[in-house]
């Protein structure tokens, strides 16, 4: 138990330090946050215009799409805002920077994940809260479900990033492939899963688990079905086990590039 508390304190220290460093350049921080809010808002406006002509798309209304955007945006913000290196592990492996983390007494994977923050991700958080506010689904219970589903969504983003980037341990530098897979998860997560059929739908619940962060959270909030929430949690845990196993087994295969990594 003391180890868990120690690791949580360690992670929290890093998050605070990363945020403090980002706020040192407040103008840049606010510009990146505002830019991301604006970028996401353009997507929401595009869909609003589309729904003016087609009130429902494959059974989805605009309000339900806003719920989808809220969960995905907040989950993505938690993932990249708190554990920004989840989409950079391949580069760290390829450049030999793992040497630094291996020399430290803290858990290697946790240390890698929390040592960087994607500042623009906080713009996703702001956007997610805003679209939830105008979705028409705001209530205390729905807010609790939204927070829970968003945390699970964030965990899925992190675990998926760890899994696809850990492939570099086995086949060499796969940074480009891993980045494409991670971006595919984000892209497919922005569309209602009912738009996909057959093998594509199966793919989005297995290889690229976009279905777990689109249809599932929306159904949880819309229908208040706790069993779906439990299924989502189970999927996140399973993906987490796969990701952690891939990483630490791959770590045993790691051969240092004899690069000296200096962090200031």
CA distance 162 to 156: 10
**Backbone CA torsion sign across 183, 160, 78, 71:** positive
- CA atoms lying within 13 Å on the CB side of residue 114: 17
Q: What's phi and psi for 57, nearest 5 deg?
A: -125, 115
At 255 the pLDDT is 58
Cβ count near 33 (within 10 Å): 20
> In the predicted model, is pLDDT for residue 262 greater than 60?
no
At 1 the pLDDT is 62
- H-run or E-run covering 185: helix 175-189
> In the predicted model, is pLDDT for residue 260 greater than 50?
no
Local confidence band at 263 (pLDDT 50, 70, 90 cut-offs): very low
Residue 77: name the closest of 151, 14, 143 by CA: 151
197/44: higher pLDDT: 44
**In Å, how far are 17, 43, 141, 142 from 138, measured between CA atoms?**
33, 21, 8, 6
> In the predicted model, is pLDDT for residue 259 greater than 80?
no
Residue carrying structure tokens 């999927």: 235
- pLDDT tens per residue, range 110-134: 999 999 999 999 999 999 999 999 9
Query: Residue 241 contacts by C-beta under 8 Å, 6 or more apart in sequence?
Result: none
How many percent of the chain have pLDDT more than 70?
A: 96
Residue carrying structure tokens 């297995």: 206
238/259: higher pLDDT: 238
Say if residues 173 and 166 touch (Cβ distance below 8 Å).
no
- pLDDT tens per residue, range 26-35: 899 999 999 9
Say if residues 137 and 67 touch (Cβ distance below 8 Å).
yes
- pLDDT tens per residue, range 151-196: 999 999 999 999 999 999 998 888 999 999 999 999 888 887 777 7
- pLDDT tens per residue, range 206-246: 889 988 888 888 888 888 888 999 999 999 999 999 999 99
- pLDDT tens per residue, range 13-23: 999 999 999 88
């Amino acid at each position: 138990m003391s180890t868990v508390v120690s690791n949580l304190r360690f992670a929290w220290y890093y998050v605070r330090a990363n945020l403090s460093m980002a706020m040192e350049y407040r103008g840049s921080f606010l510009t990146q946050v505002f830019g991301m809010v604006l970028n996401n808002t353009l997507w929401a406006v595009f869909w609003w215009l589309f729904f003016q002509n087609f009130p429902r798309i494959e059974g989805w209304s605009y309000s339900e799409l806003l719920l989808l955007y809220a969960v995905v945006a907040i989950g993505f913000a938690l993932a990249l805002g708190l554990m920004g290196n989840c989409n950079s592990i391949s580069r760290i492996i390829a450049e030999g920077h793992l040497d630094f983390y291996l020399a430290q007494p803290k858990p290697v994977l946790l240390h890698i994940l929390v040592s960087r923050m994607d500042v623009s991700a906080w713009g996703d958080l702001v956007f997610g809260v805003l679209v939830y506010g105008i979705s028409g689904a705001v209530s205390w219970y729905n807010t609790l479900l939204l927070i829970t589903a968003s945390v699970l969504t964030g965990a899925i983003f992190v675990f998926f990033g760890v899994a696809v980037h850990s492939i570099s341990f086995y086949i060499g530098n796969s940074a480009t492939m891993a980045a494409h897979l991670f971006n595919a998860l984000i892209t497919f997560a922005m569309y209602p899963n009912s738009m996909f059929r057959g093998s594509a739908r199966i793919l989005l619940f297995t290889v690229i688990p976009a279905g777990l962060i689109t249809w599932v959270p929306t159904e949880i909030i819309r229908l208040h079905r706790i069993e779906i929430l439990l299924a989502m949690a189970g999927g996140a845990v399973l993906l987490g086990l796969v990701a952690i196993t891939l990483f630490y087994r791959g770590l045993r295969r790691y051969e240092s590039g004899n690069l000296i990594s200096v962090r200031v």
